[in-house]
Amino acid sequence: MSISLTTPAAPAAAARRTPVVARPVGVLADIGNVLVRELQPVLRQPASVLFAMVQPLVFLGLFAPLLPDTGDGSALQWFVPGIVAMTALMSASFTGANLSEEIVSGSFERLLVSPVRRSSLMIGKALREMVPLVLQTIIIVAVATPFGFDLHVGGILVGMALLVPFSVGLGALSLALAVAAKEQAWVFWTVQQTVIFPLLLLAGVLLPLDGAPGWLRTASDVNPLTHIVEAERALFAGSFPGETVLYGAIASLVVGVLGLWVGVRRMNRAS
Amino acid sequence: MENNTTHGPVIRTVGLTRHFTRGKQTIEAVRGLDLEVAAGELVAFLGPNGAGKSTTLRMLTTLIAPTSGSATVAGHDVVRERAAVRRSIGYVGQGNAAGHQFRGRDEIMCQARAHGLSRSDARRRTDELLEAFDLAEHADRPVAQLSGGQRRRLDVAIGLVQEPPILFLDEPSTGLDPQNRVNLQEQVRRLNADLGTTIVLTTHYLEEADALAGRVIVIDHGEVIADDSAAALKSALGDLVALSFASPDAAVAAAARADRVPGAQVVVDGARVELRAAHGRDTAPGLVTDLAAAGTPVTRIEVVGPTLDDVFLNLTGRSLRENQSTTTEGAAA
Ligand SMILES: Nc1ncnc2c1ncn2[C@@H]1O[C@H](COP(=O)(O)OP(=O)(O)OP(=O)(O)O)[C@@H](O)[C@H]1O
Ligand SMILES: [Mg+2]
């Protein structure tokens, strides 16, 4: 096959058979290409989705037994939807770390010079977050159900759909942060950690905020994750309170739209 | 393919300038570059570290905007018509084109699809490139596990996927063994000869520039200091012929004879004579015979072609490593 090994002066691959016909690529195909690329490492190494789950699963194991049983159901029923939201938060906010790696290695530069639209690059990368979201939710529910978590498949499916815009928007923000912090990787982690934990605590994922002082309640009310978690709790319990779900959906969409808008803008200026 | 060989320059820069400001410090990476590259040319940017080669390529490939001045590539402005420029070019950067957590095959496929090749064409093209760069057996391993040279070949393969009319290669041969270096040079030459691809590449090695490019542009401190054929640059410098003798006396006697070689500069250093002359490698055998006949036989001979450092010394009067009088640049490709 490889003539090049024996005669360097006349290397192999003299025969170039494929005429290269490059056609214009539509926006959707563009996004699809990026998404397919992003999913390859996930599909080849599905265990990688566990990485962002370690902390939430530890919290599930350590916190759930501590929570007092409320009258209307087990502590798990209250805790699991929050943990699902927390996993989405972790996973999406980590996504920029992959991009940081690509910025350092040089593959991001190659994509920036390619004909892929910058917006497609951002959207495709952010959409990738849907896959870990689904896999992680399945794992958490599978872990919790034997311990008395009451399974409502319909509610969980709606809950996951409700989380998608949030997840994608947060992923886009994380990617934008990675692009902005391209020369100092530590900036990425500092900002990520500084933002994630207050969001998490203020949303009442780990502890109920019922007895919190007024200012904390206000801070919690403007946190989109609060409304998302409340909607998730209702949906995972098999109920469908219109207003709660609507607020949750709005909060999720706001993060989604804002995240993609910021992300695409940042990506357009990336170098 | 669609090579408009008859039109004007495919790359044109006018006063192309790029500064980087970091705190109070301003680095003038590229200073007022005026350049024209015609369709089908194969040009090498030759220059030391920090000369501004990559910065120039990054402006021409739309990655960064010029501070001032302008450039067109394939007739499109690199600031105002970035998308059109990107569709006309291939680029192999100084870093790795293939993401480390991906597989080589997937990355080539992805690039092909991004350029609008159909799925089956993309697959065939990927196989061709894997074969051309001797990568078939590494194609399905994570890029992170490949050796530096294997990764570099993959980078180049990715850059060639769409057979771009204009190709930019930033130090394509870094990390390649001699075998693969020759293969790469062959691929580059073939692209240029068979498809008329306009190619701009950067290198630190005069030998490599000579082996590949018809035209060498020497860049230093962000400015062009020479723009000529490699042959012309080299012949202006000549080869260095180093002769050793049994004793310093023999060396002095031999130096007198060596001085008669036309255009030769001769330096005696102990029992060594260094002679720099155009076509030194052609005159050396005759000289050795001469000296033996004259009773001062040569005990050791070394012939070295000019290096980037010699080009610099000649053009700027200073060595690349300013405070050292000589450097020992490794023999290139
Ligand atoms: N992003 C940046 N920020 C600040 N300075 C930069 C940046 N990129 C390049 N420079 C500076 O600009 C100058 C030119 O750099 P460039 O990368 O173009 O050199 P080069 O000729 O490619 O060198 P090498 O042979 O080492 O690759 C250097 O002094 C470098 O430090
Ligand atoms: Mg460089």
> Which pLDDT value is given to residue B214?
83
Best-predicted range by mean pLDDT (A44-58, B37-51, B304-318): B37-51
In a domain, B315, yes or no: no
Please indicate whether, in this complex, the C-beta atoms of B131 and A37 are within 8 angstroms of each other. no
Tens digit of each residue's pLDDT (9 = 90 or more) over B265-303:
888 999 999 988 888 888 889 889 988 998 889 999 998
Ligand 1 pocket, residue B30 CB under 6 Å: no
In this structure, the strands spanning B25-38 and B9-22 are antiparallel
Angle at CA B122, nearest 5°, toward B121 and B125? Answer: 85
The tokens for A216 are 């904390």
Chain B CB within 8 Å of residue A28 CB: no
**End-to-end Cα, chain A, rounded Å:** 41
Yes or no, beta carbons of A12 and B131 under 8 Å apart: yes
What is the number of structural domains in chain B?
Answer: 2
Sign of CA pseudo-dihedral A143, A148, A150, A151: positive
- Do B228 and B121 share a structural domain? yes
Residue in chain A nearest B134 by alpha carbon: A2
Pick from B74, B59, B54: nearest CA to B17: B59
CB pairs under 8 A between A and B: 135
Q: What is the mean pLDDT of residues B10-17?
A: 96
CB pair distance less than 8 Å for A107 and B131: no
DSSP states of B273-302 as a string? Answer: EEEEETTHHHHHHHHHHHHHHTT---SEEE
The per-residue DSSP string of A22-38 comes to: PPP--HHHHHHHHHHHH
pLDDT > 50? residue A227 = yes
Terminal-to-terminal C-alpha distance of chain B: 31
Tell me, what's the pLDDT at A171? 95
Query: What was the pLDDT predicted at B10?
Result: 95
- State residue A66's pLDDT score: 73
Closest CA to A178 of A165, A169, A191, A167: A191
Q: Give the residue among A84, A73, A232, A226 at the shortest CA–CA distance from A155.
A: A232
pLDDT classification of B77: cutoffs 50, 70, 90: very high
Residue A73: pLDDT band by 50, 70, 90 thresholds?
low
Per-residue pLDDT band for B318 (boundaries 50, 70, 90) equals low
Residue B51 CA: which ligand 1 atom is closest? 21
- Answer with the one of B234, B266, B288 that is the final residue of a domain: B234
- The answer to whether position B203 is within a domain reads yes
How much is the average pLDDT of B42-54? 93
A5, closest residue in chain B (CA to CA): B179
List, in order, residues 6 or more apart from A224 with CB less than 8 Å away. Answer: A166, A251, A252, A254, A255
Return the CATH number at B101.
Answer: 3.40.50.300
User: Phi-psi category of A148—alpha, beta or left, where left has phi over 0 and alpha has psi -120 to 50?
Assistant: left
Together in a domain, B163 and B279: no
Is-contact B163 B20, C-beta < 8 A?
no
The mean pLDDT of A57-80, rounded to a whole number, is: 75
pLDDT of residue B169: 96
pLDDT of residue B141: 93
Q: Can you give the pLDDT at residue B13?
A: 96
Q: What are A90-103's pLDDT values in tens digits? A: 999 999 999 999 99
Q: Which residues pair with B71 in a beta bridge?
A: B13
- Residues B75-80 have a mean pLDDT of 95
pLDDT of residue A92: 93
Task: Look at B9-13, B239-243, B326-330 and tell me which has the smallest mean pLDDT.
Answer: B326-330
Domain ranges (residues) in chain A: 29-268
Answer yes or no: is B177 within a domain: yes
* pLDDT for res B329: 37
Q: B321 lies in a domain? A: no
pTM: 0.85
- A-contacting residues of B 141-160, CB under 8 Å? 155, 158-159
My answer on whether B131 and B265 are in the same domain is no
* Same domain flag for B49 and B96: yes
Q: Judge: A23–B118 Cβ closer than 8 Å, yes or no.
A: yes
The pLDDT value recorded for residue A12 is: 43
Residue B5 lies in a domain: no
pLDDT at residue B33, rounded to an integer: 95
User: What number does the ligand 1 atom closest to the CA of A183 have?
Assistant: 1
Tell me which of B24, B28, B54, B57 to substitute to probe ligand 1's pocket, judged by most ligand atoms within 8 Å of the beta carbon.
Answer: B54
Residues B107, B39 within the same domain: yes
- Average pLDDT estimate for A226-235: 95
Average pLDDT over residues A16-33: 81
The two three-digit tokens of residue A20, written as one number? 């290269």
B72 and B98 in a single domain? The answer is yes
pLDDT band at A3 (very low <50, low <70, confident <90, very high): very low
Residue B114 to residue A116, Cβ atoms within 8 A: yes
**Does residue B241 carry a pLDDT above 60?**
yes
- Percent of chain B's residues with pLDDT above 90: 61
Q: What CA–CA distance (Å, rounded) separates A125 from B220?
A: 39
Q: Tokens standing for B15?
A: 């006063």
Considering the domain architecture, whether residues B142 and B261 belong to the same structural domain is answered as no
Which residue of chain B comes nearest to A1, CA vs CA? B131
What is the B53 CA–ligand 2 centroid distance (Å)?
5
In a domain, B283, yes or no: yes
Asked whether residue B319 is domain-assigned, the answer is no
pLDDT for A33: 95
Average per-residue pLDDT in chain B? Answer: 88
Mean pLDDT, range B81-102, rounded to an integer: 94
Q: Whose CA is nearest to atom 12 of ligand 1?
A: B29
Within a domain: B326: no
Distance CA B233, CA B206 (A): 9
Residue B154 is predicted with a pLDDT of: 95
Same domain, residue pair B90 and B193: yes
Q: Name the packing angle between helices A242-268 and A118-127 (round to 10°).
A: 140
pLDDT at A70: 58
Range with lowest mean pLDDT among A203-207, B129-133, B158-162: A203-207
CA distance A41 to chain B (A): 6
How much is the average pLDDT of B51-74?
A: 96
Among B18, B24, B27, residue to substitute to test ligand 1 (most atoms within 8 Å of Cβ): B27
Query: Are the Cβ atoms of A20 and B163 closer than 8 angstroms?
Result: yes
What's the B189 CA to ligand 2 centre distance in angstroms?
A: 22
Neighbours of B299 (CB within 10 A): 13
**Ligand 1 site, residue B49, Cβ cutoff 6 A:** yes
- pLDDT band of residue A132 (cuts 50, 70, 90) is confident
| Residues 6 or more apart in contact with residue A57 via CB below 8 angstroms | A83, A140, A143
- CB of residue B53 inside a 6 A radius of ligand 1: yes
Span B311-316, mean pLDDT?
76
From A227's Cα to the closest Cα of chain B, the distance in A is 36
Is the same domain home to B70 and B155?
yes
Nearest CA in chain B to A35: B110
Are B243 and B230 contained in the same domain?
no
Tell me: pLDDT of B304 over 50. yes
Question: Is B27 near ligand 1, meaning CB less than 6 Å away?
Answer: yes
Specify the pLDDT at position B222. Answer: 93
Range of the domain at B250: 239-305
**Do B203 and B277 lie in a common domain?**
no
Q: What is the mean pLDDT of residues A223-228?
A: 94
Same domain assignment for residues B150 and B252: no
